[in-house]
Structure 1
Amino acid sequence: MKNVILKQATIIDAESKFHNQKMDIIIENGKISSIDKTAKNPTSLKEIFLENLHVSQGWFDSSVSFGEPGFEDRETIGNGLKVAAKSGFTDVALQPNSYPIIDNQSAISFVNQKANGFSTNLYPIGALTKNSEGNHLAELFDMKNAGAIAFGDYNKAMDKASIQKIALQYVQDFDGLVISFCQEKTLRGNGVVNEGVVSTRLGLKGIPAMAEEIDLIRNLSILEYAGGKMHVPTISTAKSVSLIKEAKKKGLNVTCSVSVHHLSLNETVLEGFDSRFKVAPPLQTESNRKALIKGINDGTIDMITSDHNPIDIEHKKLEFDLAKNGTIGLETAFGMLQKVLSTEVIVEKLVGGKTVFGIEKNSVSVGNMACLSLFDPYTELVFKKENILSKSKNSAFLGQTLKGKVYGIYNNGKLEI
């Protein structure tokens, strides 16, 4: 256990009575033992002085991919968790898109064992269907018992409405959460970018926004009929925001997330045909980007994810049509969000997802376990290749000026800065 005093830390935590106050935080045996204006140090604890230090509840990322098992050349669980810690995340939800797909109890146990002993907690998402092929439900109950916090097929829409219905009904027996990525297959076709003026000018096949919206309408209708809990990841259009808003007003148990890249970039970055900007769903128009920000600020969108997805160079540095979707995003999440949202809103949306996924929250209060993100919201730096901590280098944010710097985390009795 690392016993420390975080000196003169501004606390950003609406659930703490010390919100927006600059305090000394004493952590002993993994717990916050004292919060004071100027703490005495009778036991010679290590004192941590960091410029413009701000502290919040530990951040949670609801969608990361690490590759292992099978794609360790893209990322390993061990290095991925170190990257998450240095990026300010105390908790991450791991997507099942490895090889083999994480679709059974032993696969869940494997990733849990690989994640033991790190400062960042890993929570596996189990595949909703066997091999994420969309034909038969996977071993959901067994995976839940092994530690899966939700079930979904990463970036794959459920073509068969009957399986979507049965999944929502079945998981109610054990309070399970179904993740439903929305993109209607026949409308998506072979599209690689958003359909519109930019796709036409560039001569790239487009995916109409309604591919997401029509699938979302269908899934919300199934949820209304079947009941259960549904999470819609990485929505990207204004219509999707309004559909989620209406569904919540009806009382449906639905939540949603948006990615950092959809909040901070629009489709105009595609002009250079750079495959680093090829993501799923595709980057959208500026009006849709602004609607997503509005959806964050009015509370419709529940959480923000980096949607961190390392891709090896052989599958990314190709012609745009052939390259795989995905960007890494853990290292740049906070610094990019600071350009479009307030620090308090960012913290709220990086912490609030814990409640949806059944992960314990710990406010910055005396007596609570110390689960903290440490950051400076003011320092600016240009993000360069040497700043990348991930094994893969497929960042859509290279060359971007980041507003704010993350120092690291304190979690599981460890200070990682």
Structure 2
Amino acid sequence: MNALIKSATIVDSKSDFHNETVDILIEKGRISKIAKQIPNPKKFKEIKRDNLHVSQGWFDSSVSFGEPGYEERETISNGLKTAAHSGFTAVALNANSNPVIDSYADITFVKSKAQDHAVSLYPIGALTKLSEGKDLAELFDMTNAGAIAFYDYQQPISNPNLMKIALQYASNFDGLVCSFPQESRISGLGVANEHINSTKLGLKGNPALAEELQVARDLFLLEYTEGKLHIPTISTAKSVKLIRAAKAKKLDVTCSVAIHNLVFTDDVLHNFDTNYKVLPPLRTQTDCDALIEGLKDGTIDMVTTDHNPIDNEHKKIEFDYAEYGTIGLESAFGALQTLFTTKKTISLLTQGKSRFGVTETSIKADAMADLTLFNPDNTFEFSTATILSRSKNSAFLGYTLKGETYGIISNNKIVLK
């Protein structure tokens, strides 16, 4: 694959060309030259776009595609196409398919389905067999097959001894254990944040306490085992404080936050729109502010779309019975830019790579081209016309976003809108 990118502003603090507007020559999938003006005698494909900006390829640490088993929600092929058009060159795939991805063969299967795509797919294996929270899955075998972490997607591990053993066992091969932050015996049948709005609306409450108890427990277990832990999608101010204190102790812990938990509060639930039924639930403005501050000071290590396509049959029903989840790949960049500068947004979309063993490739000569192309300035209303996913369950429908993604160059392929 050969191409010449014309007049692109580089947004990459690790590049010598950061904030410069340059041409980028790519030959056989590798950056061969970066300069103010590059001629094109070989008639390579020229890429020109309005207000073109280029950064390192973006990474999402939590996506669900459905396949195998839930192809009506999303397929791996279309999911990767959606990720590419949304600016992501790498995604970590959750194990919440049918069957659950909990073996060597399962990891091999999803990797094979992602071959020859511009977007790199990194499988996350289930932590326990069938994600039932009873017995550990084949963690080492899945590592050998290419699993980058272990996580029972949105399924809390209620048995603390099982979590302790998982942390101890995975440390033998530097495995990353993920633990969903919810104590189910506290959250019960709650479907919305336990606060004023849940009371007004007559919705069963899921209190912040349910998350914070689980976070505190897991941090104690981490300190005891000296393992390696990632806590996905935290949502409360106290969770931020607990993880900040753990990092001060030098514990090997990272965490993420879902973008929708930064943007929305439980005030949006007044119309019982099930697109806002997510897990963890949308909290209060105080929580949003603490999460944003946690990203700014480094307590929270990364953002995620927590992209989770759900078909209408399971989403467009009574709030209590609708499944949790929102898609988020297509809206990620534009939503973050309503909260942060472009520089900070790009940092948030790339800085989770090292934790999950994904190669970071700076924009420089002789590096493989792993690039996201975008325009950071235009605003638009997010609508179903913007959605490439098979499922349309987006919390951002009707929301004004800032910034447009043009596509990616990665894995020796070009995907542009």
Matches within 5 A, 1:236-255: 236-255=235-254
Measured in 2, the distance between the counterparts of 1:7 and 1:297 equals 33
Partner residue, 1:202: 201
Partner amino acid, structure 1, of 2:294 = G
Residue by residue over 1:266-304, the C-alpha shift from the partner in whole angstroms, topping out at 9 and shown as x without a partner, is 111101011110000000101110111111111111111
Residue 404 of structure 1: how far off its partner (Å): 0.3
Q: Structure 2 CA distance, aligned partners of 1:299 and 1:345? A: 12
Determine the structure 1 residue equivalent to 2:162. Answer: 163
Partner residue in 2 for 1:270: 269
SS of the counterpart of 1:122?
strand
Q: Deviations over 1:306-354 (max 9, x none)?
A: 0000001110001100000000000000001100111111111111111
Deviations 1:4-37 (A, max 9, x none): 1111111010110111111111111111101101
Match of 1:368 in 2: 367
Which amino acid letter does the alignment assign opposite residue 318 of structure 2?
A: E
| Moved beyond 6 Å, runs of 4+ | none
Structure 2 distance, partners of 1:347, 1:245, is 23
Describe the superposition over 1:38-92 as per-residue Cα deviations: whole angstroms up to 9, x where unpaired.
1122222111110011111000000000000000000000000000000000000
Q: SS at the partner of 2:299? A: coil
Q: Which residue of the partner structure matches residue 126 of structure 1? A: 125
| Structure 1 length-normalised TM | 0.99
| CA deviation map 1:89-126 (0-9, x unaligned) | 00000000000000001000000000000000000000
Instruction: State the alpha-carbon separation in 2 of the partners of residues 22 and 300 from structure 1.
Output: 32
1:387 Cα deviation (Å)? 1.4
Cα distance in 2 for partners of 1:369, 1:180 equals 34
AA of the residue aligned to 1:86: H
1:392 aligns with 2:391: yes
One-letter amino acid of the counterpart of residue 153, structure 1: D
The superposition leaves residues 228-266 of structure 1 with CA deviations (integer Å, 9 ceiling, x where unpaired) of 110000000111111111101101000000111011111
Counterpart code for 1:274: D
Map residues 170-319 of structure 1 onto 2, 5 A cutoff: 170-319=169-318
Residue type of the partner of 1:51?
A: D
- In structure 2, what is the Cα distance between the partners aligned to 1:174 and 1:161? 21
1:321 aligned to 2:289?
Answer: no
1:184 partner amino acid: E
SS at match of 2:246: helix
Q: Which amino acid in 2 is paired with 1:152?
A: Y
**Any unmatched runs of 5+ in structure 1?**
none
**What residue number does 1:40 align with?**
39
| 1:109-163 Cα distance to aligned partner (Å, 9 max, x none) | 0000000000000000000000000000000000000000000100011100001
Partner SS for 2:403: strand
| 2:267 aligned partner, one-letter code | T
Output aligned runs, 1:45-64, within 5 Å: 45-64=44-63
2: CA distance between counterparts of 1:334 and 1:349? 10
SS at match of 1:353: coil
Amino acid at match of 1:171: A
- Residues 1:113 and 2:91 aligned together: no
Displacement of 1:385 after TM fit? 1.1
Instruction: Indicate the residue corresponding to 2:405 in structure 1.
Output: 406
Paired positions, count: 416
What's 1:143 paired with? 142
Q: Which amino acid aligns with 1:191?
A: G
Q: Give me the CA root mean square deviation.
A: 0.6
Query: 1-side partners of 2:258 and 2:236: how far apart?
Result: 12
Query: Alignment partner of 2:353: what SS?
Result: helix
Cα separation, 1, equivalents of 2:405 and 2:361? 20
Following TM superposition, by how much is the alpha carbon of 1:371 offset from its aligned partner in structure 2, in angstroms? 0.2
CA distance in 1, matches of 2:254, 2:204: 30
Q: Distance in 2 between matches of 1:7 and 1:25?
A: 7
Paired with 1:406 and 1:112, the residues of 2 have a C-alpha distance of: 26
CA distance in 1, matches of 2:324, 2:129: 22
Q: 1:190-246: per-residue Cα shift (whole Å, max 9, x none)?
A: 000000011111110001101000110000000000111100000001111111111
The equivalent of 2:357 in structure 1 is 358
Query: How big is each residue's C-alpha offset from its partner over 1:170-193, in whole Å with a ceiling of 9 and x where there is no partner?
Result: 011111000111100111000000
CA distance in 2: counterparts of 1:173 and 1:232, whole angstroms: 20
Which residue type is aligned with residue 293 of structure 1? I
Distance 1:309 1:167 in 2: 26
Structure 2 distance, partners of 1:264, 1:20, is 28
- Partners of 1:301 and 1:42 lie apart in 2 by 47
Distance across 1 between alignment mates of 2:44 and 2:384: 36
In structure 1, C-alpha distance between the alignment counterparts of 2:347 and 2:303, rounded to whole Å: 9
2:92 aligns with 93
CA deviation after TM superposition for structure 1 residue 384, in Å: 1.1
2:286 aligned counterpart, secondary structure: helix
For residues 323 and 278 of structure 2, the distance between their equivalents in structure 1, rounded to whole angstroms, comes to 8
SS of the equivalent of 1:112 reads: helix
More deviation, 74-83/345-354: 345-354
